[in-house]
Structure 1
């Protein structure tokens, strides 16, 4: 039986994973490049996000990515990159549905707590699958696309946040399932102490 305390802790962790997912989407740090010039000592940086590219050489420093210029020569890269952005945005919708499910189950009484872990777990696993697919596309492009063949490119912290978020969703689903099978059923009534018992 999954108890209220388990749901409360799981909800807290889930909210943290949702913040990580949203942060990874809005920050342009999925793939980064950094190099220091030998003769001047200046450092050049470029970072790619799901929807933005930022460079220390550009003014303004950030622009929409991928744009028409990026896609003119490499339609495959653009399609895959945009698919990754779509998947991660869709993951936030699944996370919103998961949050609503958490609240319904937690506020619905004992029966909903006893059975609701299955629905919450399903949403958590679906969220993780979508996130893993999105980050897998980025990792695949990082490994295979020619623009990242130059040494200095690396998967950065937005990608790592997404990995942690998806992994935590899988762990939460497993924890809810284990608690449902391992914890004893909660009682509907609290027993009062006998005032005459000495």
Structure 2
């Protein structure tokens, strides 16, 4: 069965993965374009996040993205990009539900720890599927949209954080399931030494 120590370690790792997910949503570094001018050594950079776009030459540096001007010429791009943003926001809701499930299972006694891995594992896999699908949409646009055909664009660390977070969720689901079958049952009490044998 899955023991308290396994749940505790898994919860700690899961919290770290959740922080990665939230960071990937909040930082505008899903796709980045960087180019340096040969004559002046000046560097131009353009960072695109799920909800904002930042440019080193714009004033203000960051704006909401994609806005109506971005979508006027390419509705498909905007629909896909916004869908990815929605999926990542939905993933955080699933992660919140997963964190609550961890707490309920860990505080619920032996029976809940024996059976709770199924619920938590299911939520972890659901979270991973949502995140993989969201980052997959961005990767598809990166590979196929004409906006990114100019050399210098790359998938940046926000996309990587999402990928790592989703992979961690899958790994945790596997660990919880494996521990449920491999670890011996947890006793509710410990045997005390017989004082008669000590005489």
> Normalising TM by the smaller chain, what interval?
over 0.9
1:30 counterpart = 2:51: no
Q: Which residue of 1 is the match for residue 6 of structure 2?
A: 6
Q: Distance in 1 between matches of 2:66 and 2:99?
A: 31
**Aligned residue pair count:** 198
Q: Aligned partners of 2:72 and 2:141: how far apart in 1?
A: 17
Q: Partner of 2:79 in structure 1? A: 79
Structure 2: stretches of 5+ with no match in the other structure: none
User: Which residue does 1:47 correspond to in 2?
Assistant: 47
- Which residue of structure 2 aligns with residue 97 of structure 1? 97
Alignment correspondent of 1:139: 139
What's the CA shift for 1:47?
0.4
Quick one: distance in 2 between partners of 1:92 and 1:165? Answer: 11
Aligned-pair distance for 1:156? 0.2
Secondary structure (helix, strand or coil) at the match of 2:151 reads coil
Partner of 2:165: 165
**1:78-108 CA deviation, whole Å, 9 max, x = no partner?**
0000000000000000001101111110000
| Cα distance, 1:194 vs structure 2 | 2.5
| CA distance, structure 1, for counterparts of residue 67 and residue 192 of structure 2 | 68
Q: Counterpart of 2:126 in 1: which secondary structure? A: helix
Measure the CA separation in 2 of the matches of 1:74 and 1:132. 24
What's the C-alpha RMSD, in Å, of the aligned pairs?
0.7
TM-score of the superposed pair, with normalisation by structure 1: 0.99
TM-score (norm 2): 0.98
Distance 1:158 1:44 in 2: 19
The CA deviation at 1:193 is: 1.8
What secondary structure sits across from 1:2 in the alignment? coil
Aligned equivalents of 2:188 and 2:102: distance in 1?
21
The 5 Å alignment of 1:87-126 reads: 87-126=87-126
